[in-house]
Amino acid sequence: MVKKRAIVFVDGNNWYHNVKSVVEKPRAIDFQKLATMIGEHFDLDIAGIRYYNSTPDIGLGDDNYYKHMVFLAGLKKKGFEVNTNKLKKIKVNGKVVRVEKGIDVMIATDMISKTLVESECDCCVLISGDSDFVPVMRLIKKFGKEVLTASVLRGYARELLQGEFRFWILKKQDVVKSFGGYDGK
């Protein structure tokens, strides 16, 4: 039987903040290893990995900006498609805060494009626990393609775990196996 061709879509901000509940250093995760594990778990042929995240302002003065940009450059060097959008500044109770805007729409648009328009894959693997993706997941499923999710339990929306779509709740040992330099021991 031929495996379904899949593209992995990583919601970087959602993944990072949720996986911090499981491991101390989420940046140590090798997304190629994680994608391979997901492909084996669901019996998929992984055709590509697309990573999405916001980028902080360079004017913030701390080295989080530089660490983040080095991380994104490392993903690009490994051949991943990296898609970003600047953090937006808004006022909340008189304070300026930075919020992620447009990333979920970017992911949803690319999922539709890669499955339904360009037919580059039969299955989208969403590494996120965000229920905002349910409408696009339903649309893709309506047209005969599959969308499944993988994430850690913290932050995994109930709507994604109710059986409408296949999912994988990653445990700590699964996350640790995807660290760079992991040798299987």
Q: pLDDT digits over 150-177, tens only?
A: 999 999 999 999 999 999 999 999 998 9
User: What is the set of domains in the chain, with CATH numbers?
Assistant: 4-177 (3.40.50.1010)
**Model-level pTM?**
0.89
Query: What is the residue-wise DSSP string for 101-126?
Result: -SHHHHHHHHHHIIIIIS---SEEEE
- pLDDT tens digits for 117-154? 999 999 999 999 999 999 999 999 999 999 999 999 99
Q: Which helix (H) or strand (E) holds 146?
A: strand 146-152
- pLDDT tens digits for 40-76? 999 999 999 999 998 877 665 567 778 888 888 989 9
Q: What is the pLDDT of residue 64?
A: 75
Encoded tokens for 161? 């775990």
pLDDT at residue 3 above 90?
Answer: yes
Backbone φ, ψ for residue 179 (5° rounding): -65, 145
Q: What is the pLDDT of residue 65?
A: 78
Q: What is the pLDDT of residue 139?
A: 98
CA dihedral 80, 109, 168, 31 (to 10 degrees): 10
Place of tokens 């998929």: 44
Q: What is the pLDDT of residue 184?
A: 42
Q: What is the pLDDT of residue 185?
A: 37
Degrees, nearest 5: CA angle 50-160-76: 10
163: three-class secondary structure by DSSP = coil
- For residue 61, CA distances in Å to 56, 66, 96, 122 come to 11, 10, 16, 44
Q: Which letter does DSSP use for residue 81 in this model? A: E
